[in-house]
Structure 1
Amino acid sequence: MTANIKAISYHLPQYELNNVVIEKDFPEWSIDKIADKTGIDCRYIAASDETAGDMAVKAAEKLFLEHNIDKSTIDYLILCTQSPDYFLPTTACIIQEKLGLSTSVGAFDMNLGCSGYIYGLGLAKGLIASGQAKNVLFVTSETYSKFIHPKDKSNKTIFGDAAAATLISSEDGFAEIGNFEYGTDGKGAENLIVKNGAMRNLKTNKEASQDEYGNYLSDDYLYMNGSEIFLFTLASVPKLIENTIQKNNLTKENIDLFVLHQANKFMLDSLRKKCKIENDKFYIYIGNCGNTVSSTIPIALYHAQKEKLLQKNNTILLAGFGVGYSWGGTVIKIV
């Protein structure tokens, strides 16, 4: 049984954090410097009382409205987030109630970051192929801004909050989901981490220290070793792309468009050059929302479709990679 992407919608919080505001807070970072380094002009930040669960509900409601979807047909709900509303219960259960979905649906959270969209597509396809579900509502929602120290200018310029909702169905959709390639290397866990706040280490509320670049660091907040993440990406993603193509019995020439996790423009440009992908086959949508973690790929797909870049019989390669380390790839065939 095939699994198809039927529809995608997404939600951004109300508050816009643009480069003008960041320059005021950090005068040494000019508007042009931020845009050149990251490719990001603005990102949207969740309100203090707004959670990933709240945004997930809004994204799902937009999906139902924009695509005229009968929510009574949903029989499984997956939420991908690393910023759940509570340690327990699972946020997906709360979303089921708020959306008014049937109590016969399955629902669970998965804790993955930048590779999360690929893993979620894989799980949804497995549920459909095994006959456990016919219509899976897959929502990615993240509020990384709540993990970032207010004076951490590096991470503040990159990450934005967002939620995206995707309907994966056994019925016809706009894209058929292909085969998957996955990878994991926990040795890289310490390079993108919030060390305190869960069961291993409680929050300390200690005063943050400054690194050599003027970023404020604290184990209570998000830490990213940018240089190590960059090296991991350049080492792993080209191989991921190659293996994903092989898993689907294709050649690189068969791929009409590459849609990768939208980390930042510098990293994407480096990957495109290393993989020798033509500009017109490499889609970037990051300037108007920033790195939204697990939502970057569905947001990019939404806009690629809107720009009519997803034509019938096109083959699109999707690849996610990052925190974990974790990575995954698949292809979708536009039908």
Structure 2
Amino acid sequence: MHAFAKIQAVEYHLPASILSNKELAGVFQEWSAEKILEKTGVYERHIAADGETAADLAYLAANKLFDSNNIEKSGIDFLIFCSQTPDYFLPSSACLLQDRLNLPTSCAALDINIGCSGYVYGLSLSKGLIETGIAKNVLLLTADTYSKLIHPKDRSVRTLFGDGAAATLISSVESLNSKLGPFVLGTNGAGAKNLIVPSGGFRERHRLEATAEYTDESGNTRSKVNLFMDGPEVMNFTLSSVPKVFRQLLESAGKTIDEVDHVIFHQANQFMLEALRRKIKIPPEKFIIEMDTVGNTVSSTIPIAIARAKKSGQIKAGDTALLLGFGVGYSWGGTIAELF
């Protein structure tokens, strides 16, 4: 018997405010509510309130995890917070969450900023911490509030992204077999410019001129302090990279698709997901899509999909799932996990 990392529980939290396709169609009158659904697979998305941050959402998701699974906070010895919308440049939001959640001061805490593949990266870090004996119970929190980065007149991203958070407990279990892994991770920073907020960091500090608005040839309005996404380039990256990672992961695990119960990709948009499923030839009954009422929640899409599929009975304890995140960076990460 050996100590292996295993996903024990997953919960999520969404902000109260809901932005529907009907409301968006009132802003972008050239797109009907039905056309937005057709292009994104999203009916509605949740939007954080003014003054409500990703850390606030993560705090609520963590408390749901503790309460619904009878988890003792005193046993958490590592906290990882994955977000691209932290409370501050410094200190790290993970440190603030350790105190706010009343976790022991012996609990290490750190932030990671990785975006769409962040959940799988967080799982890889958790596995390393647990299987080298550094930690026994890792609390992985993912949360983003991209809505605060999006210009209200940018149709290309406002129709797609929603805010949300997820909390996952990864623990050490005694077993003969690994419960999490292998991992395939990678990066191509040459694509960074295609999904970016250009101004506001230390490469280009906030200046008045950075807030000047412009409208692109597709009619999307934004400034340099807003999120920019080159949709066609991101789509090209996804369709060329994800099938390769998928094959590498199965080969590394020594498995075929028949030996995996579920496939859960980053819930980028339904059109893209269906294109990937057809290209890779994934059986539709194995392929989980759970984004119609939440949208693309960035680092939380995979754990939210896991939690929702478990609640509906689609995922059962002991099932194996191939998890694959991809996007901003560009970065990607895949793993195979035994769930619960």
Which TM bucket (shorter chain)? over 0.9
Partner of 1:73: 75
Partner of 2:294: 289
Partner of 1:47: 49
Q: Name the TM-score, length of structure 1 as normaliser.
A: 0.97
Residues 9/334 of structure 1: CA separation in 2 closer, same or farther (3 Å cut): closer
Residue 27 of structure 1: SS of its match in structure 2?
A: coil
2:217 matched to 1:215? no
Between the aligned residues of both structures, percent identity stands at 52
Q: Structure 2 counterpart of 1:285, which letter?
A: E
Residue 158 of structure 1: SS of its match in structure 2?
A: coil
Conservation of the 8 A alpha-carbon contact between 1:196 and 1:220: yes
State the alpha-carbon separation in 2 of the partners of residues 250 and 232 from structure 1.
25
State the alpha-carbon separation in 1 of the partners of residues 35 and 317 from structure 2.
39
State the alpha-carbon separation in 1 of the partners of residues 125 and 281 from structure 2.
31
Q: Structure 2 counterpart of 1:170, which letter?
A: S
Residues 67/270 of structure 1: CA separation in 2 closer, same or farther (3 Å cut): same
Partner of 1:192: 195
Q: Which of 86, 110, 117 is 1:108 aligned to?
A: 110
Q: Which of 233, 243, 263 is 2:248 aligned to?
A: 243
Q: Structure 2 counterpart of 1:276, which letter?
A: K
Q: Which runs of 5+ in 2 are unaligned?
A: none
State the alpha-carbon separation in 1 of the partners of residues 103 and 278 from structure 2.
45
Q: Which runs of 5+ in 1 are unaligned?
A: none
Q: Which of 87, 90, 96 is 2:98 aligned to?
A: 96
Partner of 2:172: 170
Q: Structure 2 counterpart of 1:245, which letter?
A: L
Partner of 1:320: 325
Q: Structure 1 counterpart of 2:51, which letter?
A: D
Conservation of the 8 A alpha-carbon contact between 2:184 and 2:335: yes
Quote how far apart the aligned CAs of 1:329 are: 0.3
Partner of 2:29: 27
Residues 265-305 of structure 1 show CA distances to partners (whole Å, capped at 9, x for unaligned) of 11001100100111111110010100000000000000111
Q: Name the TM-score, length of structure 2 as normaliser.
A: 0.96
Quote how far apart the aligned CAs of 1:127 are: 0.3
Q: Structure 1 counterpart of 2:135, which letter?
A: A
State the alpha-carbon separation in 2 of the partners of residues 211 and 110 from structure 1.
32
Conservation of the 8 A alpha-carbon contact between 2:156 and 2:229: no
Residues 111-157 of structure 1 show CA distances to partners (whole Å, capped at 9, x for unaligned) of 01000000000000100000000000000010101110111122000
Q: Which of 173, 179, 184 is 2:182 aligned to?
A: 179
Partner of 1:231: 236
Residues 166-217 of structure 1 show CA distances to partners (whole Å, capped at 9, x for unaligned) of 00000379x9212100110000000000010010001234321111111013
Partner of 1:157: 159
Conservation of the 8 A alpha-carbon contact between 2:166 and 2:300: yes
Q: Structure 2 counterpart of 1:201, which letter?
A: E
Residues 82-119 of structure 1 show CA distances to partners (whole Å, capped at 9, x for unaligned) of 01100000000000010000001000000010000000
Conservation of the 8 A alpha-carbon contact between 1:6 and 1:172: no
Map 1:251-290 onto structure 2 (within 5 A): 251-290=256-295
Residues 202-243 of structure 1 show CA distances to partners (whole Å, capped at 9, x for unaligned) of 123432111111101321110000000000000000001101
Q: Which of 74, 84, 87 is 2:86 aligned to?
A: 84
Residues 172/35 of structure 1: CA separation in 2 closer, same or farther (3 Å cut): farther
Conservation of the 8 A alpha-carbon contact between 2:8 and 2:339: no
Q: Structure 2 counterpart of 1:104, which letter?
A: S
State the alpha-carbon separation in 2 of the partners of residues 163 and 172 from structure 1.
29
State the alpha-carbon separation in 2 of the partners of residues 233 and 101 from structure 1.
38
Conservation of the 8 A alpha-carbon contact between 2:166 and 2:304: yes
State the alpha-carbon separation in 1 of the partners of residues 308 and 41 from structure 2.
17
Conservation of the 8 A alpha-carbon contact between 2:212 and 2:224: no
State the alpha-carbon separation in 2 of the partners of residues 332 and 94 from structure 1.
29
Conservation of the 8 A alpha-carbon contact between 1:4 and 1:177: yes
Deviates more, 1:201-210 or 1:154-163: 201-210
Conservation of the 8 A alpha-carbon contact between 1:9 and 1:166: yes
Conservation of the 8 A alpha-carbon contact between 1:204 and 1:220: no
Quote how far apart the aligned CAs of 1:315 are: 2.5
Question: What number of residue pairs does the alignment pair up?
Answer: 334
Q: Which of 132, 135, 156 is 1:133 aligned to?
A: 135
